[in-house]
Amino acid sequence: MPASKRDQLLATAERLFYEQGFHATGIDRIVAAAGVVRMTLYNHFASKEALVATVLSTRHERFIASLDAAAASASPGQVTRALVDAHGHWLKRYSQHGCIMVKAMGEFAEHSAEIHALAAAAKADLMKRLEAAVARDGLDQRPDLARHLFMVLEGSNTAAALLGPQTALDDTRTMVDTLIATARSKAQ
């Protein structure tokens, strides 16, 4: 079944925004690459900012769904690792050149409080899921563990672009295993 024009626009805009930046990617470039006319874009999105917000929201929903599925299917005591692995899978498949949310926060910090807040809220969602995973694994007696894990995962987003995704993921897993092992030893 062919994708709807709206879906074509979203997929094309997401790819172009990620590859070229939000401000560097104009509406004309998006509609040409999507194979639609300008009016089609404006029939679905009131403005470029509305398109950016929808791209970020849609991508975030897919990311969070992948994390939630991993956490839901994890064995007892393995929720945190499952979440970390799901993050790594996403990074390797969709974010090899850095995090689109971080890119959005950087580009929109001075230009759109709404877009910046949307991207920051996405980061807060990741933190909440890490906190929940740590609690499910019985490691929440260390209140800083989720924050430390968050810092490692966010670092892996940048490291993937510099070191390559596999090296970043291997190093991330080593650091996460060390953090979890330390938390488990202090819990006993």
CATH 1.10.10.60 fits 1-45, yes or no: yes
- Give residues with Cβ within 8 angstroms of 77, minimum separation 6: 137, 138
Tell me, what amino acid is at 185? Answer: S
Q: For 18-68, what is each residue's pLDDT tens digit?
A: 999 999 999 999 999 999 999 999 999 999 999 999 999 999 999 999 999
Q: Give residue 3's pLDDT.
A: 73
pTM of the model: 0.92
Exposed, middle or buried: residue 62 (CB in 10 Å: 0-12, 13-18, 19+)?
exposed
**74 to each of 2, 15, 21, 134, how far by Cα in Å?**
34, 31, 35, 13
Q: Is the dihedral of CA 171, 125, 180, 151 positive or negative?
A: positive
pLDDT in tens, 63-75: 999 999 999 999 9
Q: 């498949």: which residue's tokens?
A: 93
C-alpha 104/C-alpha 117 separation (Å) is 10
Note the pLDDT of residue 131: 96
pLDDT at 84 over 80: yes
Please say whether the structural domain 55-187 has been given the CATH code 1.10.357.10. Answer: yes
Q: What is the DSSP letter of 37?
A: -
Contacts of 170 (CB under 8 A, 6+ apart): none
Q: Is 121 left (phi over 0), alpha (psi -120 to 50) or beta?
A: alpha
Q: How confident is the model at residue 1 (pLDDT cuts 50, 70, 90)?
A: very low
- What pLDDT was estimated at residue 142? 83
Helices within 45-111 (DSSP H only):
48-73, 79-94, 100-108
Residue pLDDT, tens place only, 107-163:
999 999 999 999 999 999 999 999 999 999 999 888 899 999 999 999 999 999 899
Using alpha carbons, list the distances in angstroms from residue 100 to 20, 57, 76, 109.
11, 11, 32, 14
13: pLDDT strictly greater than 80: yes
Residue 2: per-residue pLDDT: 53
Q: Where exactly are the structural domains of the chain?
A: 1-45, 55-187
